[in-house]
Structure 1
Amino acid sequence: MHKTYLGAALLWTVGIAVSCLVKMSTFENKVISLEHKDKFIHCTFYFGFTVLWYLALVKTDKQKMRLKVFIAAVLYGITIELCQGLFTADRSADVTDALANTIGSAIAITVIWLISKIKK
């Protein structure tokens, strides 16, 4: 089961990088019409990132793994934002995007924790 989650987590991680580093005009189709939809998308990306990596890596110490995955998600989000600023011509690093990433990951960790409490 962990191998399936690992594959999904890797694909999700690559998907985040690609969608955050390609030219924005690639995604100009207005499928979602929300104010601040990019922040919602960032939150969703990192919610998925956190859940998938947690499921792929958790074995016994669930509390430590939640913390490790949360830290990894925050660092990955910051790294992607820095890459946008350093390596793309039409994208820029945005602190509020990094904050949205962190919020998405924090929500995921909270949901994972709540589910573990309900299962007990």
Structure 2
Amino acid sequence: MKTLFKYYGPAILWALFIFVMCSIHLGKIAESPMFFPGFDKLVHCGFFFVLVVFYANGLIRQLSTLYVPYKGIILFTVIAIAYGGAIELLQLLIFTWRSGEWNDLFADGVGAAMGAFSVLVTFSALKYVKK
């Protein structure tokens, strides 16, 4: 358990942050003119982008290498999308002050895929850095 928090602590804390932010009652804040249409989708995308990047960071630190296993990234991308789906189900069924939407789940998936893609591109580019 200690090893889990040592390497994946930021990812776990970020997942808890996502859960809290997706479950609180926003009230009139969501209707503020400060937020543009689609701001919610952008936030969902950003949340899951950061979640996958934090997981990849933990995986790299745990393996002590600059190689990123594709299976690990793909697996956690799928897990992150499932986590987003679970949050949307909770919003639909339990957190009645929130609404579970397919568009939010799509934004979660896009953010997770963007995170995985950015990690893979970054580490592919590191192979070609002059030493």
Q: TM-score range by the shorter chain?
A: 0.7 to 0.9
Specify which of 43, 46, 49 is matched with residue 48 of structure 2.
46
In 2, Cα distance between the equivalents of 1:26 and 1:4? 39
Q: CA deviation at 1:55?
A: 1.5
How far does the alpha carbon of each residue in 1:44-82 deviate from its partner, in whole angstroms, 9 at most, with x for none?
000011111122134366111111110111100000000
Q: CA deviation at 1:34?
A: 2.8
How far does the alpha carbon of each residue in 1:5-59 deviate from its partner, in whole angstroms, 9 at most, with x for none?
5221111000000110111228549595333100000000000111111221343
Amino acid aligned to 2:75: K
In 1, Cα distance between the equivalents of 2:87 and 2:32? 23
Q: Which has the larger radius of gyration?
A: 2
TM-score, length of structure 2 as denominator length: 0.80
C-alpha RMSD of matched pairs (Å): 2.2
Runs of 4+ in 1 over 4 A off after TM superposition: 2-5, 26-32
Q: Which residue of 2 aligns with 1:78?
A: 85
Specify which of 102, 118, 127 is matched with residue 95 of structure 1.
102
Q: Which residue of 1 aligns with 2:26?
A: 24
Amino acid aligned to 2:112: S
Any stretches of 5+ residues in structure 2 without a counterpart?
A: none
Amino acid aligned to 1:112: V
Q: Which residue of 2 aligns with 1:110?
A: 117
Specify which of 7, 10, 32 is matched with residue 9 of structure 2.
7
Any stretches of 5+ residues in structure 1 without a counterpart?
A: none
In 2, Cα distance between the equivalents of 1:84 and 1:17? 10
Identity of aligned residues (%): 27
2:72 corresponds to 1:65: yes
- Secondary structure of the corresponding residue to residue 114 of structure 2: helix
2:62 corresponds to 1:55: no
